[in-house]
Amino acid sequence: MNFSDTLHKNPVFDVIAQQADALGLQAYVIGGFVRDLVLGRPSKDIDVVCIGSGIALAEAVGKALRTNVSVFPNFGTAMLKATAPANRHGDGDWEVEFVGARKESYRSESRKPIVEDGTLEDDQNRRDFTINAMGIRLNRNSPQPGAEYGELLDPFGGLKDIKRKIIRTPLNPDITFSDDPLRMMRAIRFASQLNFDIEPDTFDAIVRMNERITIVSRERVTDELNKIILSPTPSYGFKLLYHAGLLDRIFPELIALKGVETIEGKGHKDNFYHTLQVLDNIANRANPTKYASEAENELWLRWAALLHDIAKPATKRFDQKVGWTFHGHEDLGARWVPGIFRTMKLPLNEHMRFVQRLVRLHLRPIALTKEQITDSALRRLLVDAGEDLEGLMALCRADITSKNYERVQKHLRNFDRVERKLHDLEERDKLRSFQPVITGELIMETFGLPPSREVGEIKSIMREAILDGVVTNSLEAAYPFLLDEGRKRGLIPKTVKNDE
């Protein structure tokens, strides 16, 4: 197979070919770019391997393109950005990384290889999977007889594995995964992203070698986990992680959700598979842009789906009258979120707080669909959810996982009704960034009080009165109510606002 016509669509390959020939270096584009080219997937990351100095080739290409080259001498690599044409691979900048062909050897206690110069065959041997070991020749004046520009070099049958939708290691999978245990996560990530199967011998090796994932840094493991979470059907990746024995090592809290207990003929649903269904529902919701907000993006909404029931095992109780209960799992789960994020090396910032808020509030909209909706309850939800309301509603819709189609549709119609009322109330009361006009400072100034519990109690009463619709959130309406509350407590105003 020859890709010369495809390569011509991106001028950077012509420049690489010219400079490689001028330097007398054999050069190849290899790895993920070739895989995605065969699959017709967008890709802007180009890995170029040459027999010799990758840095020298990068500098020559950079000079020809008049672009800066970043050199990493300790790793023997260099990188540049090149403007890409508008085509099926997208437009913008391509990142092109250059490296000399290498062969690698590993010590058992580390995934950092000992690197030596090598041949193209050595470089392809060190690749993780057959679909990532394919290369395309970039030389026009190759010293090898019969070699052609754009020729596919596929020593391990990667093209055949793509057609079969198979993830397979080029060499013995036990050696591949022992050398670099992160490749076990990568195998499952590619399977989940591409909807491929993992070849049986390769998967069996993951099961045998899963303990070695413990030598990999948590950051690298979480990076692969995030890519699985963002895959089209993330449950597939999580089921593979579970059956491979990896999930228990990297995310035991999720494993604890698995299983069904039955007492007196009453059982509960398997919360592990329910969670994965909710995650899939989020991934495949009909209109994802509808729920975009400043505090939310897709990854963190999916993390909220993954963690929304995480504390159910710890709160599970059996009641002879009602069966299984999980009272308070939303509050306990929210308290667990920072610890899970810390362990996973995820950011302890607004993204964590977004996930925490959705875990804490995920039952609130569901409760509103089952009862007579009051403006007071809606106001509280608007205030508590704030800018995260759309993400919360997306999670709640995804949380409906009944196999009864009519029941699901009934719940969704109820959610439509709640959302309409929330929208109308928000338009009227502007509660997203709610701050009561009666502040603690104003209470202390009015009655001459020091900071105290009484100030907090009065402030809470004022907040509840506004949310209950007793008074509007304006100084004109709320200040007389404050004075009246003070009189009930025997407080004498020291100052009175002129606009009372």
What CATH code is carried by the domain that includes residue 105?
3.30.460.10
- Co-location of 159 and 48 in the same domain: yes
Tell me the two tokens of residue 352. 């964590």
| Predicted local distance difference test score (pLDDT) of residue 75 | 82
| Cα 289 versus chain centre, distance | 16
User: How confident is residue 132, by pLDDT bands cut at 50, 70 and 90?
Assistant: very high
**Cβ neighbours for 145, distance < 8 A, ≥ 6 positions apart:** none
- Co-location of 135 and 11 in the same domain: yes
| Predicted local distance difference test score (pLDDT) of residue 253 | 95
- Co-location of 131 and 200 in the same domain: no
- Co-location of 154 and 10 in the same domain: yes
Assess if residue 292 is contained within a domain: no
Q: Domains in the chain: how many in total?
A: 4
pTM, rounded to two decimals: 0.82
Q: Is residue 332 pLDDT above 70, yes or no?
A: yes
* Residue 30, helix vs strand vs coil: strand
Assess if residue 170 is contained within a domain: no
Q: Is residue 500 pLDDT above 60, yes or no?
A: no
Total residue count of the chain as it appears in this document: 500
- Co-location of 14 and 116 in the same domain: yes
Domain end (from 123, 142, 164): 164
User: How confident is residue 140, by pLDDT bands cut at 50, 70 and 90?
Assistant: confident
User: How confident is residue 8, by pLDDT bands cut at 50, 70 and 90?
Assistant: confident
Query: Residue 187 maps to which CATH number?
Result: 1.10.110.30
**∠ Cα 227 392 325 (to 5°):** 95
Domain range spanning residue 453? Answer: 440-488
- Mean residue pLDDT across the chain: 86
Using a 10 angstrom Cβ sphere, with 0-12 exposed, 13-18 middle and 19 or more buried, the burial of residue 147 is middle
**What is the rounded CA–CA span in Å between residue 140 and residue 149?**
5
Assess if residue 339 is contained within a domain: yes
State the DSSP H helix or E strand holding residue 106, giving kind and residue range, or none if neither.
Answer: none
What is the full DSSP assignment across 199-217?
A: PHHHHHHHHHHGGGGGGS-
Tell me the two tokens of residue 133. 């070991």
Assess if residue 134 is contained within a domain: yes
Tell me the two tokens of residue 107. 């010590």
Beta bridge partners of 95: 45, 81
Tell me the two tokens of residue 371. 């009862």
CA dihedral for 44, 45, 51, 56, sign (positive or negative):
positive
- Co-location of 388 and 334 in the same domain: yes
User: How confident is residue 294, by pLDDT bands cut at 50, 70 and 90?
Assistant: very low
**What is the rounded CA–CA span in Å between residue 224 and residue 22?**
39
Assess if residue 333 is contained within a domain: yes
- Co-location of 157 and 72 in the same domain: yes
> Is residue 400 within 8 Å of residue 411, measured between CB atoms?
yes
- Co-location of 151 and 10 in the same domain: yes
What Rg, from alpha-carbon coordinates, does the chain have?
30
Q: CB atoms < 10 A from the CB of 263, how many?
A: 12
> Is residue 301 within 8 Å of residue 291, measured between CB atoms?
yes
**∠ Cα 191 192 195 (to 5°):** 70
Question: Quick one: which of 275, 267, 274, 225 has its CA closest to 247?
Answer: 225
